[in-house]
Amino acid sequence: MINVVLYEPEIPMNTGNIMRTCAGTDVTLHLIKPLGFSLDEKSIKRSGANYIDKCNYIVYENYEDFLSKNNGVFYFLTRYGNKSYTEFDYSDKTQNIYFIFGKESTGIPLEILKPHFETCLRIPINNKIRALNLSNTVAIMIFEALRQQHFDGLDFYDTFKGKDHIIND
């Protein structure tokens, strides 16, 4: 099972976009407090495009609370990672896989990263920017894991208009 963990997210629009992506891919979202917003704010609902009710998400009081309730393989997305996200195998559907992302302003604290250096990874970018947008990195990681799992359980056609919509229109 694929899981996304947001450590102290700050920007409601990012979290709303991530909720929509998680809803569309059956990925569970874990939110670690403190949050930089309220989950019932209009802005996060608007960012989630009214799909928040379809997103499976869990809120934790702190990182220790999250750790005490979850186990599996933990991958930490950080600009300090020395391995590309493509160097890892996410294909085992029987394992709980957790992609952990830090808050937008400061990332994941070094004291959390240091013991997990071997599973700290990064999405390669040039030196013109510090980092990619959080919701974009989450989408990249979800779809890489799903690609390795052959997009199991996802539709390859528009389920709202039908498989032959272009042909029949």
The CATH number linked to 42 is 3.40.1280.10
Q: What are the tokens at 17?
A: 């976009």
Query: How far is residue 38's CA from residue 57's CA, in Å, rounded to a whole number?
Result: 14
Number of structural domains (the chain) is: 1
Query: How far is residue 44's CA from residue 14's CA, in Å, rounded to a whole number?
Result: 8
Q: pLDDT tens, 82-132?
A: 999 999 999 999 999 999 999 999 999 999 999 999 999 999 999 999 889
Contact by Cβ (8 Å): 55, 21: no
Q: In which band, very low, low, confident or very high, does the pLDDT at 169 lie, cut at 50, 70 and 90?
A: low
Q: Which domain holds residue 145?
A: 2-168
Q: What three-state secondary structure class fits 7?
A: strand
Contact by Cβ (8 Å): 72, 100: no
pTM: 0.91
Is pLDDT of 48 > 60?
A: no
Closest to 47 (Cα-Cα) out of 64, 22, 83: 22
Is pLDDT of 59 > 60?
A: yes
